[in-house]
Chains A and B, each alone.
Chain A
């Protein structure tokens, strides 16, 4: 492919570039709300509410942190705290951009289509960067900016500073994109290497996971037996302040960027200084430099990758395998196992979610155990345990609500097979259920060790959690059945905004909050003996699961056949 511009001139260039960017954005985002006035209004209202909520929460958090003198002795929240928060946001953005750009620049299927269009390779390359920049900008303006506004209101930032933040954030949004484009090169090398050598990939992955889990558990077990934050606060606070100070020293560039956005604090207030402008100019210059490096190194590689067939995907000749006959359900199970294993999205999420739940519960209960709680505190601890376990598991069921659709056209070919319709649908959920059960058993065992509940009560609560999870899995799967997205997955390979997984996530929060409130009410009503509360919770979980199972089976029976 040559770098020749088909229609010379600035206006056609902008026109083509804009079309490329919009096409890629439309592919990844849902713009259907533009078609309807009602949806547009609703979208705007929710958008404003979301921004308002973030500002309010941020303001309250910083306000009470200042009032309680959590991070300083002078009743303010030092800039160092904001630096830490911004660092976290920046690192997450950088990771996301690096991995995302690596995939979209070098491994995306749509590259083969884009390069056939009457546009230059440069345009395609930069259009991809611009798309990511737009995502980052959206995140900055809808999350980081409200967060900073909340801090500003709590810390009495001058009004002008809020306007100054906007251009800063616009350019700061581009920073992880250009750095990500640069870092995508070595990442791609490692990724490609691991892709070619599957055994090494699996070994490295397992090793990293094992070391990480072991390290985390070791750290958790280091938490002392007795923590009394209030009494020991005067010992703890200087360490916190010192840590913030050290962090700002080691993360000097990010501290400067934070100061660039919110100003310098002296004379008991925030002030706009020329140092901010200088930092801003240096930022732009640094980004320009990185962009040039990216253009010189990454772009040629991008063009090479799009121009040649994906030969590296093909393996060398493999020895012919034997044919084996299996029973139907075993065959379907094996198929699902192989598909899950070979799909990194699913297998990584299984591992991440189902391992993290017991670890998080261990940490939570270790902290609770270190507090001297009264009866109400114990009951709150039990309810929060249920909340956290259910919330994480339910939220992870978002992938269940895409499982049938992810099969693409192969999904509705199931209906042509001589099977009862329900069989492959239920078997598809097997691994989710299996991993859930293991994760719940581990988490509830940890919870049981640290709580004062009897074995019987723990068993009842475990049954409660298990059945709630079964019910929610079936509900999530049912959503996918009733609103299938097979065609979308077949043509685009994925959906940024799958409505089914959004609904599953929302229901995750609502149901886990409801269980939390209900369990707390039951525990506190029961006085000293929580047995009755545990019985009621168990029955509630079973009732929920039975109801969802009934609805699932009926809906498969009466609706599945006509849904594509």
Chain B
């Protein structure tokens, strides 16, 4: 083996130790805070609604749900990235003008109660400080139409 090859192998050997030592060990010194990059609504797990967006308003998540008596469904959302340091979120709905109610439970479920057609606008926000992300939501309770 040429000397240059031996030298290169030695360098890679030391490099391996350094890399594992710096990036592979459990130390908070090198684990920076992972901020939330995006929040979005996702489709209902029980099939109550599907989330859509329009090209005119790409930052708004729309939900359209057909009205029925005593309608109630849960909102599902997702916080990205999955290893974000602080994944707690808050909901902000202006419920004063809506007939019906939105209830946020202790475990973080968001339940929407409606008894007539309505449109609800609101925001869902992360709570990780200066770089908080938010997302606008529009919930439309409608009469279903035949097409």
The complex places the Cα of A260 from the Cα of B9 at a distance, in Å, of: 30
**Shortest Cβ gap from A379 to chain B (Å):** 8
Q: A230-B27, A360-B13 are in contact. Are A505 and B20 (CB under 8 A)?
A: no
Interface mask (A502-517 → B, CB under 8 Å = 1, otherwise 0): 0001000100000000
In the complex, which residues 80-112 of chain A have their Cβ closer than 8 Å to any Cβ of chain B?
A: 92, 96
| Per-residue interface assignment for chain A, residues 314 to 350, with 1 indicating a CB less than 8 Å from any chain B CB and 0 otherwise | 0000000000000000000000000000000000010
Mask of B1-44 contacts with A, CB within 8 angstroms, 1/0: 11101001100110011011101111101000000000000000
A-B pairs with lowest CB-CB distance, top 10:
A377-B24, A384-B16, A374-B26, A380-B24, A373-B24, A380-B20, A371-B25, A395-B5, A372-B26, A373-B25
Q: Which listed residue (A368, A377, A505) contacts B23, Cβ 8 A? A: A377
Query: Are A378's CB and B24's CB within 8 A?
Result: yes
**A535 touches B (CB below 8 Å):** no
Q: Are B3 and A371 in contact (CB under 8 A)?
A: no
Q: How far is the CB of B82 from chain A (nearest CB, A)?
A: 12
A228 to B30, CA, bound (A): 13
Which residue of the partner chain, among A349, A364, A372, contacts B17 with CB atoms under 8 Å?
Answer: A364
Instruction: Report A's interface with B, CB cutoff 8 A.
Output: 92, 96, 228-230, 349, 353, 360, 364, 367-368, 371-374, 376-378, 380-381, 384, 387-388, 391-392, 395-396, 398, 505, 509
Nearest residue in A to B31 (C-beta to C-beta)?
Answer: A374
Starting from the known contacts A374-B26, A398-B5, 12 additional A-B residue pairs (CB-CB under 8 Å) come to A228-B27, A230-B27, A368-B17, A371-B21, A373-B26, A374-B25, A377-B24, A380-B24, A384-B20, A387-B12, A388-B16, A505-B5
Residue contact A381 to B20, C-beta cutoff 8 Å: yes
Q: Which residue of the partner chain, among B3, B12, B24, B29, contacts A374 with CB atoms under 8 Å?
A: B24
- Distance (Å) between the CB of A400 and the closest chain B CB? 12
A380–B12 CB distance below 8 A? no
| Contact status B9-A392, CB under 8 Å | yes
Chain B contacts with A in 59-75, Cβ cutoff 8 A:
none
- The answer on a CB contact under 8 Å between B17 and A367 is yes
Q: Nearest CB to that of B26 among chain A residues?
A: A374
Inside 8 A of A380's CB, which chain B residues have their CB? 19-20, 23-24
Count residues on chain B whose CB falls below 8 Å from chain A CBs. 19
- Bound-state CA distance A391–B2 (Å) is 14
B13's partner among A364, A395, A398, A505 (CB-CB below 8 A) is A364
Measured CA separation A169–B142 after assembly (Å): 86
- Residues of B close to A360: CB separation below 8 A: 13
Q: Which residue of B lies closest to A371 (CB)?
A: B25
CB pair B1 A376 closer than 8 Å: no
CA distance A181 to B106 in the complex (A): 86
Residues of B within 8 A of A395 (CB): 1, 5, 9
Q: What is the CB-to-nearest-CB distance from B80 to chain A, in angstroms, rounded to a whole number?
A: 18
A378 CA to B25 CA, complexed, in Å: 9
| Given A373-B25, A388-B13, A395-B1: A509 in contact with B20 (beta carbons within 8 A) | no
Residues of B within 8 A of A398 (CB): 1-2, 5
> A-side binding surface: helix, strand, loop or mixed?
helix
Q: What B residues does A373 contact at CB under 8 A? A: 20, 24-26
- Name B residues whose Cβ lies closer than 8 Å to a Cβ of A: 1-3, 5, 8-9, 12-13, 16-17, 19-21, 23-27, 29
Kindly provide the distance from the CB of A373 to the nearest chain B CB, expressed in whole angstroms: 5
Question: How many Å from the CB of A236 to the closest CB on chain B?
Answer: 13
Contact of B24 among A92, A228, A376, A391 (CB under 8 A): A376
Tell me whether A377 and B12 are in contact (CB under 8 A).
no
Some 26 contacts from A to B, beta carbons below 8 A apart, are A92-B3, A228-B25, A353-B1, A371-B20, A372-B25, A373-B20, A374-B25, A376-B23, A377-B20, A377-B23, A377-B25, A377-B26, A378-B24, A380-B19, A380-B23, A380-B24, A384-B16, A384-B20, A388-B9, A388-B13, A395-B1, A395-B9, A398-B5, A505-B2, A505-B5, A509-B8
Bound Cα distance A372, B13 (Å): 19
Chain B residues near A387 (CB, 8 Å)? 12, 16
Whether B1 lies near A396 (C-beta < 8 A) is yes
**B25 surroundings in chain A (CB, below 8 A):** 228, 371-374, 377
Would you call B20 and A229 a contact (CB within 8 A)? no
Min CB gap A474→B, angstroms: 19
B19 to chain A, nearest CB (A): 7
Residues on A with C-beta less than 8 A from B19 are 380, 384
Cβ contacts under 8 Å, A388 to chain B: 9, 12-13, 16
Q: How far is the CB of A380 from chain B (nearest CB, A)?
A: 5
Q: How long is the Cα–Cα vector from A395 to B9 in the complex, in angstroms?
A: 9
- Chain B contacts for A228, CB-based, 8 A: 25, 27
> How far is B23's CA from A378's CA once the two chains are assembled, in angstroms?
11
Residues of A within 8 A of B24 (CB): 371, 373-374, 376-378, 380-381
A306 to B80, CA, bound (A): 79
Across the interface, do B3 and A96 meet the contact criterion of CB distance under 8 Å?
Answer: yes
Residues of chain B within 8 A of A92, CB atoms compared: 3
Complex interface: chain B residues within 8 A of A377 (CB):
20, 23-26
Measured between beta carbons, the chain A residues less than 8 angstroms from B17 are 364, 367-368
Q: Shortest CB–CB separation between residue B65 and chain A, in angstroms?
A: 36
When chains A and B are docked, how far (Å) is the Cα of A377 from the Cα of B26?
8
Taken together as a complex, chains A and B put the C-alpha atoms of A488 and B3 apart, in Å, by 23
Q: Are B27 and A368 in contact, CB atoms less than 8 angstroms apart?
A: no
User: What are the residues of chain B within 8 A of A364 when measuring CB–CB?
Assistant: 13, 16-17
